[in-house]
């Protein structure tokens, strides 16, 4: 017992999201899901030297009472948008988080969606994979037209003044393809592009993650997904090493599980 008393317990940080659901019988409703905070000891190492300032500004704005606005987080797949979003969610305090999953994004144009949101004032609406609802309305897409109109009303229209909702949209397409009305001053809170890491930053992260070789063979910009893929591969190689006395069939099975977890951590919102 005396030895046990010397161990420190580190609580697992876990945020609660209200995930939007819909069916013909009940219309729109929410279901609670829990989101663990990913381990990002240094935001600069993962997203560049200037990203800490972006994060601090975003946290400050999102937590302001009675605030409105739109935040756009975009970039190529594998650059860590969802990984960061899971981190950000766990940093936000004292606000309800409403999450629209990708398969329900188009349903935001349905007549019942705005009345449903009115039940959640002073909250933060998170829309993942929002490409289909933020496109330029000049393309004459009915779904895009209605969706953009809804976002504009929520951000700084009369409805926004009543509901005080912040909106976070993530997407992979270029920001030039979205409706310019979403980018206007006073409406846009933060616009940030996630990109590949420079050679120097990629190697620094490899050192931090204790990846064999320290990334010395990296000679071009590299995505977070690729770097974490290296970490996963190194773990599997170590577990399967016949010279490793602990490389039992059990640890090999566990290594496959861990490989999936490391890989999914960058992409799956629920991982």
Token pair 């409406």: residue: 187
For 236-255, write each residue's pLDDT tens digit: 766 555 555 444 444 444 44
Whether 81 and 75 have beta carbons less than 8 Å apart is answered as yes
Q: How far apart are CA 2 and CA 252, in angstroms?
A: 34
Q: How far apart are CA 52 and CA 30, in angstroms?
A: 32
Q: How much of the chain, in percent, has pLDDT values that exceed 70?
A: 76
pLDDT at residue number 238: 60
Can you tell me whether residue 260 is helix, strand or coil? helix
Q: Is pLDDT of 160 > 80?
A: no
33/3: higher pLDDT: 33
Q: What is the pTM of this model?
A: 0.79
Confidence of residue 114 (pLDDT cuts 50, 70, 90): confident
pLDDT at residue number 109: 82
Q: Is pLDDT of 181 > 60?
A: yes
Q: Which residues contact 117 (CB under 8 A, 6 or more apart)?
A: 98, 125, 154, 163, 165
Q: Is pLDDT of 82 > 70?
A: yes
Q: Is pLDDT of 130 > 60?
A: yes
């Amino acid at each position: 017992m005396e030895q046990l008393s010397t161990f420190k317990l580190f609580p697992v940080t876990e945020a609660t999201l209200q995930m939007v659901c819909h069916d013909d019988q009940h219309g729109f409703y929410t279901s609670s899901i829990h989101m663990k905070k990913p381990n990002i000891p240094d935001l600069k190492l993962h997203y560049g030297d200037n990203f800490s300032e972006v994060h601090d500004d975003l946290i400050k704005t999102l937590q302001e009472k009675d605030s409105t606005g739109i935040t756009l987080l975009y970039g190529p797949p594998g650059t860590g948008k969802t990984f960061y979003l899971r981190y950000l969610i766990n940093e936000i305090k004292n606000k309800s988080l409403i999450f629209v999953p990708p398969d329900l994004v188009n349903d935001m144009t349905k007549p019942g969606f705005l009345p449903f949101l009115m039940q959640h004032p002073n909250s933060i609406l998170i829309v993942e994979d929002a490409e289909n609802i933020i496109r330029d309305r000049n393309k004459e897409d009915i779904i895009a037209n209605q969706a953009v109109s809804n976002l504009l009303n929520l951000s700084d229209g009369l409805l926004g003044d009543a509901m005080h909702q912040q909106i976070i949209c993530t997407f992979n397409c270029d920001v030039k393809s979205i409706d310019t009305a979403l980018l206007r001053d006073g409406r846009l809170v933060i616009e940030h592009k996630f990109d590949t890491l420079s050679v120097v930053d990629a190697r620094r992260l490899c050192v931090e993650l204790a990846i064999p070789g320290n990334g010395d063979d990296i000679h071009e910009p590299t995505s977070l997904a690729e770097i974490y893929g290296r970490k996963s591969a190194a773990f599997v190689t170590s577990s399967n090493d016949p010279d490793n006395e602990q490389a039992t069939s059990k640890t090999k099975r566990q290594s496959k599980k861990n490989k999936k977890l490391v890989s999914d951590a960058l992409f799956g919102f629920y991982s």
